Structure 1
Amino acid sequence: MDEGGAPNDSRLKLGPGGARVDLIGTLPDSLLLEILERLGCDAAAAARTSILSRRWRYLWARRLKVTFALPDVPYGGPDLISALPDDLFLQILGRLGSVRAAAPAICVSRRWRDLWTRLPKVTVALHDVPFGSLEAVLGRATARLWACHYLLDIRVPVQVDRVYAGSLHSLLLAAAALSPLELRFTLPRDLTVSATNVSLPCFQRATYIELHARDLRLSPKHIGGLCFHSLESLSLSGCHINLETFIPRLGRLRRLSLSIINLVGMDNITIHSSSLEELIVDHKNRWTCLTSISVKAPVLKQLTMSFHAGSDVAVSILAPMMEKVSWRCLYTSFIYGLGLWGISEVGLKTAERHEQTDSQEEEDASLQLPSVHVLSLHMCAQDLLSFPNADLSLVAEIDKHMVTDFSSLDLHLRAKGHVFGAVVLHLLGLNRIHTAIQNLKIVLLGSEVKNACPVDCLCDEPSDWRTRSIFLAGLEKVEIEGVVGEDHELDFLKVIFRCAPMLRRVALGLSDEATPNDDWCTKINDIGKAYPAVKYTVDLVTGSTLGSQSCAST
């Protein structure tokens, strides 16, 4: 205490007006941490600094290096760690993530010895081992791996640009000798495998195999008997294999994924399996187009197929239990079409469906309904091409992509200023479409090229399409996006209203470039008034309904 009775605190200095200022407390955190580091104290002493100031509270926990001082006297109490149940031990080891981290646990206690071999799943990762040393490393692997469920993950580093098929086969044999339950084998994309096919050895215990390469030709050996009898999931990327003979031998296969990249000779996909439940095929090379697809899978539930077609593709899908589908065929050129409309893509997918309720005040004013299958067609008007006699070939082409039943039709049209009503009504008149369709969505895509139609343009044929009648018994909802405000759009709308007795909802979205005049707005309102049972909306700006505008009808 000083003479005035104030505490003798060197941290406190008098500021303006006699106020006391905590100068140490004003230092930045980085400097305070440096002070703690230079003290060289353990965690207990550092934690005591929290009483100095609120600024110091928890500051010690942010030190880069914390030392805990343990007493020199040996602990003589019971081994509490060894008293824990094995299930808890296995959870601790499992969170370490790999065999390399889990195996040293044998130093902790005798109870931990060999415990890592009982882990539900561990990963043996060989990512940085040179190709020439991989086989020797696998040969030194402990036999205890047989006792656990482990993933053998081999990633050949980018060190060589060419290996021989024999060397690669020998490496796969060394991996198979360890009998992993799961295998992931990755070759660099720039690596070339010389000579002939690479023999794929047996992985008797493997339930999951994933192979990544570039144009790797595999020839499975001893594909009968117990060779792959446990395999449930197979993923091949850039691998050429005879699917027609290999897949039927995999009696437990549930999931098959194929990524076809730059593969010559993989233009035919034949997959017949009595156990397959999920199939994924991604054909990424437009220069080696598919010519044949044959799938026979009686219990298949999910199908994902994306491929390129340069000519006629034979399609045969037999999957009566299919629930989810994502089908996409991309044409390398306009080889099918109708009139001047060429088709560039055909798709079929499963989509979630929501039904809007009448309450607009609630945020969650929609009900989720069962999913539906949507058939999608992408077509483009071709001024320099025409398909005058292609009706039958177009119908057959679209029909073979209808690999399952559907109830919705999405049309993506790049009109380039042409009339679209005639071609859309022709498509709606196809037997499998007009009998199944419940929802119709038309997306009018913009284009920098917009030509005025000549008087006898093919896009307006047949010329009587405006008075045509098509009985669309199940059509309930129509959406048209990208409307530009032309009279032929209104003509098409009138046909839809007239031919769909069960129509309940029509929504129009105007293009950003659309500038409808008052006469067009009056006509579109009159159409809505003629069918009061239909909920009819017009969005002047795409994505937002402006009910107060003159073109909005309900």
Structure 2
Amino acid sequence: MLQRPAAGAAKADTEPVAEERGDIDLPCFERATSITLKLGFLGLALPSSGVFARLRGLQLVDVRLHGQSGLGELLSSQRCPSLKSVIVRQARGLDSFNIHSESLLNIELSNLHCLQQLTVIAPVLESLRVKNCFTNPLDPDLSVANISAPQLKLLDWMNAYDPSSIQLDNMMHLENLGIKIFILEGEEEAVERNLYCMTLLWRFDHIRTLDLLISYPPDICTAPYLMEHMPKLHITILALGIIADGHCFGASVFDVLMRCRGLKRLDLDFLPRSQLGEQTPCPSGCICDQQPKWKTEELALNCLEEIEIHDMRGTEHEVALVQRLFHWAIVLKRLKIVLHELITESKAKELRQLLLSFSRLDICIDISMFVP
């Protein structure tokens, strides 16, 4: 990922301004090796001709393009023969992105809410991240995405997945997979969406790392439980993000862990839907705690040696899960917990003593406060 332009790079960085100021023309920098543009949603006009002969990295952030814009054509092998990495974040107006590159290794697209068509043909591509794109209503018959990347090792697809509109060629070398699943959801469309995501998991049962985001909506009183459709997976590292909205999530985590064979490392993030204020407890009688087996049933995680937990607030549900993790992870060697930035020192001290009371003497435990 590009952090700064390399030697010979061109860079523009401005504060957000009104869109009516007009477009900025992007010259054809024939000798630039890296270009980073952050324009505060100013319009960007791409060059219609010319070759970026030495360009290896392009990063566009907060730019405004016009429809198809020719971005994919600009980044093709004919005009960018040395290109290795493309990052586009929060671009407005980009509804189509079609790229054919013989050199690209990394593509990252995020918050492209107008994107309707994505085509990637990249025979040596190793990393593809697509997050929060395709959010506008689409024609169900429209082919939303077509990905041909036979050497892909990392696929981070944090969007809805529908196999009828998202075509993913065989990815025999895939090692890392990231997807989003709404564990409990009442609406029929959301249930269907989750089942589609489960079909994506079924395609890749042998992967090294699974990055899974599970989310509970605020109101789930009539929702079905969907984890029974998750396949058993052979993975080494599980990165599990949880948006609980005050609900009990122990059953979902139990069911995920039960399906992860050979797991050696667990990264657990507690992610509030909003960074402001306390989470609202779920209502009495909520179905989130109607799978109580996780509190008593045995689960032998006999390969899990390392656990790292971030943004722990010390809620009842968080503490209950950590206590069970000590019991399930029979060969655990290291536990690191980073407490949430809003937790008080007195609460942190109390929580530290409680968590240490669960532990075995042979486990190395590191409990620290969040440091921005």
Q: TM-score, normalised by structure 1?
A: 0.41
Q: 1:339, 1:458 within 8 Å by CA — same for their partners in 2?
A: no
- In the alignment, the residues of structure 2 paired with residue 231 and residue 322 of structure 1 have an alpha-carbon distance, to the nearest angstrom, of 25
1:366 paired residue number: none
Match of 1:379 in 2: 215
Question: Once the 2 structures are TM-superposed, how far is the Cα of residue 407 of structure 1 from its aligned partner?
Answer: 0.9
* Residues 121, 149 of structure 2: 8 Å contact kept: yes
Q: Deviations over 1:458-495 (max 9, x none)?
A: 22222232211222121112344525364x65654443
Q: How does 1:292-331 map to 2 (within 5 A)?
A: 292-300=144-152, 308-309=159-160, 314=166, 316=168, 318-320=170-172
Match of 2:358 in 1: 527
**Partner of residue 411, structure 1:** 241
After TM superposition, give the deviation of residue 375 of structure 1 in Å. Answer: 1.8
3-state DSSP of counterpart to 1:459 = helix
* Residue 267 of structure 1: aligned partner: 116
Q: Distance in 1 between matches of 2:94 and 2:350?
A: 62
* d(CA) in 2 for partners of 1:376, 1:519: 30
Going from structure 1 to structure 2, the CA distance change for 1:492 and 1:241 (only over 3 Å counts) comes to closer
Query: How many angstroms apart in 2 are the aligned matches of 1:230 and 1:452?
Result: 53
Q: Residue type matched to 1:316 in 2? A: L
The equivalent residue for 1:436 is 263
Contact 1:207–1:230, Cα closer than 8 Å, also in 2: yes
Residue 254 of structure 1, aligned match among 104, 110, 113: 104
- Match of residue 88 from structure 1: none
Q: Residues 292 and 428 (structure 1 numbering): CA distance in 2 closer, same or farther, change over 3 Å?
A: farther
Shift of 1:520: 9.1
CA gap of 1:214–1:256, structure 2 versus 1, over 3 A, is: farther
Shift of 1:451: 3.0
467-476 or 283-292, which deviates more: 283-292
Gap change, CA 1:181 and 1:298, over 3 Å in 2:
farther
| Secondary structure, counterpart of 1:233 in structure 2 | coil
**Which shows bigger deviation, 471-480 or 438-447?**
438-447
More helix by share: 1
Question: d(CA) in 2 for partners of 1:219 and 1:428?
Answer: 42
Q: 1: CA distance between counterparts of 2:42 and 2:370?
A: 46
Deviations 1:441-465 (A, max 9, x none): 25374853433653x4322222232
Distance 1:253 1:435 in 2: 35
> Per the alignment, do residues 462 and 315 of structure 1 end up closer, same or farther by CA in structure 2, a change over 3 Å counting?
farther
Distance 1:461 1:261, change over 3 A: closer
* Change beyond 3 A, Cα 1:268–1:509: same
Distance 2:331 2:152 in 1: 34
Partner of residue 232 from structure 1, selected from 76, 82, 86: 82
Structure 2 Cα separation of the partners of residues 233 and 293 of structure 1:
22
In structure 2, how many angstroms separate the alpha carbons of the residues matched to 1:310 and 1:300? 18
Aligned residue runs from structure 1 range 121-270, under 5 A: 206=53, 208=55, 213-218=65-70, 228=78, 231-233=81-83, 243=98, 247=100, 250=101, 252-255=102-105, 257=107, 266-270=115-119
In 2, are the aligned partners of 1:204 and 1:228 still within 8 Å (CA)? yes
| Mapped partners of 2:95, 2:319: distance in 1 | 53
Per-residue CA deviation, residues 394-414 of structure 1 (Å, 9 max, x unaligned), is x37xx9xx9x95513333343
Deviations 1:278-336 (A, max 9, x none): 656566564367975443323456x575764397774636555568x69575xxxxx83
The reply to whether residue 448 of structure 1 matches residue 275 of structure 2 is no
Match of 1:477 among 286, 291, 306: 306
* 2:226 equivalent in structure 1: 390
Flag the 1:459–1:281 CA change in 2: closer, same or farther, 3 A: closer
Cα RMSD over matched residues?
A: 5.8
What secondary structure sits across from 1:309 in the alignment? coil
Asked whether the equivalents of residues 339 and 459 of structure 1 are also in contact (C-alpha less than 8 Å), the reply is no
1:336 matched to 2:182? The reply is yes
Unaligned runs of 5+ in 2: 1-6, 12-19, 198-207
Gap regions ≥5 residues in structure 1: 1-119, 126-157, 162-170, 330-334, 347-371, 545-554
Matched length: 314
Q: Does the Cα contact within 8 Å between 2:95 and 2:116 map onto a contact in 1?
A: no
State the shift of 1:262 in Å.
Answer: 6.3
CA gap of 1:218–1:191, structure 2 versus 1, over 3 A, is same
Percent identity of equivalent pairs: 16
Cα separation, partners in 2 of 1:491 and 1:514, compared to 1, 3 Å: farther
Deviation digits for residues 107-157 of structure 1 (CA, Å, limit 9, x no counterpart): xxxxxxxxxxxxx9899x9xxxxxxxxxxxxxxxxxxxxxxxxxxxxxxxx
* Distance in 2, Cα, partners of 1:519 & 1:220: 55
Provide the C-alpha distance between the structure 1 equivalents of 2:108 and 2:352, rounded to a whole number of angstroms. Answer: 52
Change (3 A) 1:527 1:423: same
Alpha-carbon spacing, 1:268–1:160, altered in 2? closer, same or farther (3 Å): closer
Q: 1:315 to 1:496 in 2, by over 3 A?
A: farther
Give TM-score, length-normalised by structure 2: 0.57
Residues 1:460 and 1:297: Cα distance change in structure 2 (over 3 Å): same
The 1:297–1:444 alpha-carbon spacing in structure 2 relative to 1, beyond 3 Å, is closer
For the structure 1 residues 450 and 232, does the alpha-carbon distance in structure 2 shift closer, same or farther, using more than 3 Å as the test? same
Q: Distance in 2 between matches of 1:522 and 1:483?
A: 14
> What is the rounded CA distance, in whole Å, between the counterparts of 1:220 and 1:415 in structure 2?
39
Structure 1 counterpart of 2:121, one-letter code: H
Over 3 Å counting, the alpha-carbon distance change for 1:317 and 1:435 in structure 2 is farther
Letter matched to residue 242 of structure 2: H
| Separation in 1, partners of 2:47, 2:351 | 70
Change (3 A) 1:282 1:389: closer
How far 1:425 moved relative to its partner?
1.0
Q: 1:307 to 1:269 in 2, by over 3 A?
A: farther
Contact 2:265 2:305 in 1 (8 A): yes
Pairwise mapping of residues 453-472 of structure 1 onto structure 2 (< 5 A)?
454=284, 456-472=285-301
